[in-house]
Each structure stands twice: as structure tokens, then as C-alpha cells.
Chain A
Amino acid sequence: MDTPTPSVADAKTVRGKDRYRSGVMEYSKMGYWEPDYEPKITDVIALFRITPQDGVDAIEAAAAVAGESSTATWTVVWTDRLTACEKYRAKAYRVDPVPNGPGQYFAYIAYDLALFEPGSIANLTASIIGNVFGFKPLKALRLEDMRMPVAYVKTFDGPSTGIVVERERLDKFGRPLLGATVKPKLGLSGRNYGRVVYEALKGGLDFTKDDENINSQPFMHWRDRFLYCMEAVNRAQAVSGEVKGTYLNVTAGTMEEMYERANFAHELGSTIVMIDLVIGYTAIQSMSKWARKHDMILHLHRAGHGTYTRHKTHGVSFRVIAKWMRLAGVDHIHAGTVVGKLEGDPLTTRGFYDVLREDYNPMRLEHGIFFEQDWAGTRKVMPVASGGIHAGQMHQLLHHLGEDVVLQFGGGTIGHPLGIAAGATANRVALEAMILARNEGRDYYREGPDILAQAARHCLPLRQALDTWGDVTFDYTSTDTPDFVASPMPAY
């Protein structure tokens, strides 16, 4: 199917008295389509992938998105004239057909900074993804990327700890951190749960982690878990001489309950607490403020994101969620593994990691990054790679994800034939051997299997891990991949 060219014939903003005649008027004539508009450096810019209903003009659809995410309602209202309404209207200024995406368009929309309350993700999202996603003239709508002006970025606290301070606090430099999620995720008693934590930390991991749905269930109440986990953390610190931690999940039904759990974790001396994305943006920002006040690292599990990030034509791209969460101020966020069991195209995942870790993101269409973004000193978020990864992939993980990442081997630690501590040791030895080889200038990506085999000669647990999982891969086609062509597309 050929992509119809967006129509520009009638799309001219009506001005003066005619603009405010009562009745219904096309969005593209009401001032929401301004092809000559040059975005200001203080504008928030959003890029939407729009799929108009059959027969709906692409430019009218883009203008409708701009209108419905800013000042418009379905009909003309005279009260617009009491305001500086031209400033408050979001302006679609560019619409491109999606390369190899028939019927889809990339719509660039600029929003004046005055539309947003400082330091509130809830306010930003109420506009940008508020009403507009249910809008009838569109079949589907996806928020692909956003450019936040520095003036807006500076209204957020950002991560309370960030990558560098986290490393300083833990005294761990020069290698990815290692973690594991306690398994089975449901059913263990507090006492049994703490055993897994102790064994994994003693064996060589830096962190263990509660799973997203471990809160306070009949089989294990939260206080019991926290007490046994901190016994395990302190024991492991004493036997290794290293700082250790466990992400205590404080997610609960109310903010009051979350504060109570977080305060208890703080009282017990935990270095880190954890929340789930499903608690909502405001709760996340509140917990970030709490973490800042209590010298706590804040881990975010992105529970629920797949419901709206995975589908290519509808929802919100994870790169946008990553930007919001860096502003909201989490220190850790799950961002994909590339090689593991969950969704993750390598280049798209690289884009997520760039958003979290770089000071400045240049435009990189091949990574799905449509805008340059200056983070203006906002601390960096530590990405977490979790889900179906094992020691035999260490060279690939280091190659794809780099050094500033937490690699989380849940099954790959706890499922080890010699036990949990042995599983942890296997992962740590594999990691250190790979870092050593990389720093020596070896082609570790190509020589990875040899480097691991060599390291396994002095480490039986690693040899067994390689024998058990060496060949396991999750090789499925990704659904969320960037759409771009190397040369710039013509704008309409």
C-alpha cells in the first residue's frame, strides 16, 4: 500500500473574527498546524507516531493531537480570546511519513514551557498522554520521543544518588555491578528468603533484589522479610569485607504505608530500597525526595511498562519513560538486556541506556533518539539488565551494555547445580575475567567463550555454569525497533 501524501491544501490557520465563529472547525485551521513554526529552545517537543483512521488527513490528525494535548476542545470557544491563546496552543510543525510504515506518520509538536508546572511528571503527562490517546479520529497513537528544554529539566531534582555517587558509596569501580532477584518470587517465608540473599551475596554478588510483586503477603509479611534480609546482608558483608545490599521493595497500597516501610528499611541500615513503576509518577517523585533525605539509593522496577511500551504503533516508547524517570529521580531502572528473555532490540536498547547514562544525547535515529537532549548536570541513572541472562553471555552483555549497569542473574545464580553461592561466584569470576581481558586490549567480544573457558579452569562453579547454560539464547524478533532511513526525510 502506498503512503498517501499528507494534504496541505486547506490547512491554513484562520485568523481574526472568523477564527472564533461558534461551531466546529478543523484543528489544522485553529492554529494547531503551523508548518513555519520554529521551535524555541525553551519549548517542550514531542514526537508522536500517528495512525489516522481511513480517510482522515495526516496533517489534520497531527493538528488534532496538538490541540487535544493542549488547549483545544471539540468546538470553538470564545473564552480563548481572554487569553494569550496563540502561546498556549501546541503547534504541530512537521509531519513525515514513517519509513516502511504505511499509513503511519511522525508528527512533531512543540509546547510552550508555560503549559507545564515545574517539577511535576504528573502534570507533564496529563497533557502529553492525557485525553489524546483515546481520540476517535486516530486508529493508534504512540509517543516516540520528547525533547525537554534545559529550563524545564532544571525544575526536577533528578536522581538523588546517581551512578557516580552510588559507586563511591558502595566502593565499587571499574566493573558492572552484579545482582540477583530472589526466586521463587512468591511463597518463600522470611527465613528461607533471607537464606537466598545470604548465599548470593556471600558468593560474590553486590545486590539481591525483591521481585516486583513481593510486598506483604500471607506467606511473608514485609517486616519479617526486611529483618531476615538485613541479617543476611550484614553477615555477607562480614565474610567478604565488601559493601552489600538488597533492594527492599517498599511498594504498598498507600503512600503512608510506603513511607513506613522505607523508614524501617532505613532504620535497619539498608543502603537501597525499591519501588515499582505501577505506584505512579507522583508516588515515585515522593519516594525520590524521601531517598534524597535518607541517603538511600532508589531502585525502580518497571513493572507494567510492557502494557504500553511494547507495541510499535500505540502507547509510549520506553525511551520516553526513561527520560521521565531520570527527571523524577530514580537511581536504578530496568532497561533491557538485549540477549535475555525479554523484549529488546540491540540498537533500541542502546538508545534507552544513552538516555539514562549520558550527559548529552545527540540525535541518533538509528538508536531511536529523535532529539538532542541536554541533561544539564542531572545525575545519571544506573540501568539494570535483568531477565534470562547467564554467565556464558558475559562478553555479549559487556559489549552491548557497557560498564555502568547492574547485571542481574536470578535463575542464573539460584539455579546453579552447586547451589546459590556457587552460582554467584560463577557470575563474578566470569565478569572479572572479562573486564581484565577487555582492559588488556583483547578482542573480548570475539574471544569471549575462550576467556570464559580459561577462567573456568581455576573456578569449578563457572565451569558448571557454562556446562549448564552455555548454549541458552533467546533469539526472537523484536517488536520495538527503530524506523529510520539514513538520509533525512522530506518534511511537509
Chain B
Amino acid sequence: MRVTQGCFSYLPDLTDEQISKQIQYCLDNGWAVNLEYTDDPHPRNTYWEMWGLPMFDIRDAKAIMGELNDCRRIHTDCYIRLSAFDATNTWESLRISFIVQRPADEAGFMLTRQEIGGRMMRYETRAYGLQKPEGSRYGG
């Protein structure tokens, strides 16, 4: 399966040149680019691990691509997402977020159903990869 979180998941994986142009768009808007990685892509896993702090002071797309490549080298089999923070009052949140690396084999999710009286159902979405401990779920 293909996790379709983020705003470009339905396009073919972006090339580095394309990613770089999106970074430039973020910088032109004055946003702080942020990298995060995880091996638990559950749709409600909000807090992926941060690759350092949001890059408030790096205003150069090339330097940010360098950070991304470092993150990719260390976390070869993780999901990595690139997002950007806008600190403008009454927004103060992300303006963009998209996946820039996925594991070679995306395990996907199991949906379990627990019948709880009448026709009511309790649903649970569980990642297939999660039986293994953190850090060893994909490939490694």
C-alpha cells in the first residue's frame, strides 16, 4: 500500500529538484522548514521524531536539502516528511506538509473490529509493522 498523507502523495515521488523548489516556496513565504521521521505512520500519530529543530534561520534551499540527505542517510527505512511553520498570528501552525521518503515496502494497516452490542463496532487501525520494536520495523 501507499500511505497518502501529505499534499503530494498522489503524484509520483518528487525528485530532489522538485523538493528543492517546494523548499524555496516555503522560504519565500518566510516559513520555517522542519524535517521529521517515523516508522509508525498511523494516521493519528501526530508527533513524528524531529530531525533537529525547525530551521528558523536557514534561508537557503541547498542547505536544507543537505539536512534532508543527512536524515535520509541515517534513517534509510523510515518515512520522512517535510513541513513548514508559519508563525503569523492567528495561523501559528503548519502551512504545508509532504512525504519526502518512504520505506521500500510499506506494510500498511490492519483494521480490527470488535462487536460491542447490537450493530455497534469498535474499530482499531493498527500498523502491520508495529509488532516489531521501534527502529526495526522496516528493512533494518
Contact = CB atoms under 8 A, between A and B. Distances in A.
Contacts of A435: 7-8
Given A171-B46, A173-B96, A241 B109 contact: yes
A399 B27 CA distance: 22
Contacts of B11: 429, 432-433, 436, 455, 458
Given A171-B46, A231-B121, A269-B123, A436 B4 contact: no
A175 B11 CA distance: 14
A164 B91 contact: yes
Contacts of A204: 4, 10
A175 B43 contact: no
Say whether chain B's binding surface is mostly helix, strand, loop, or mixed: loop
Contacts of A429: 10-11
A241 B1 contact: yes
Nearest to A269: B123
B3 A174 contact: no
B69 interface: no
B97 A227 contact: no
Contacts of B92: 164
B131 interface: no
Nearest to A176: B7
Interface residues of A, number: 40
A10 B101 CA distance: 77
A238 B108 CA distance: 8
Interface in B1-50: 1, 3-5, 7-12, 14, 18, 21-22, 25, 41-44, 46
A240 interface: yes
A387 to B, nearest CB: 24
A441 interface: yes
Contacts, number: 109
Contacts of B110: 238
A209 to B, nearest CB: 20
Interface in A264-299: 267-269
B95 interface: yes
B18 to A, nearest CB: 7
A269 B116 CA distance: 14
B63 interface: no
B136 interface: no
A380 B89 CA distance: 13
Given A234-B125, A241-B43, A440 B25 contact: yes
A164 B46 CA distance: 15
Contact of B5 (A171, A235, A436): A171
B111 A173 contact: no
Contacts of B87: none
Contacts of B1: 239-241
A91 interface: no
A359 interface: yes
A234 B125 CA distance: 8
Contact of A436 (B8, B43, B119, B121): B8
B4 A240 contact: yes
A377 interface: yes
Contacts of A234: 111, 123, 125
Interface of B: 1, 3-5, 7-12, 14, 18, 21-22, 25, 41-44, 46, 83, 89-98, 108-111, 119-121, 123, 125
20 contacts: A164-B90, A172-B7, A173-B93, A204-B10, A227-B119, A237-B109, A238-B108, A241-B1, A241-B4, A242-B3, A242-B4, A242-B43, A243-B44, A359-B90, A432-B10, A436-B8, A436-B14, A439-B25, A440-B18, A441-B21
Interface of A: 164, 167-168, 171-175, 204, 227, 230-231, 234-235, 237-243, 267-269, 359, 377, 380, 425, 428-429, 432-433, 435-436, 439-441, 455, 458-459
Given A174-B7, A239-B109, 4 more contacts: A237-B125, A240-B43, A435-B8, A441-B21
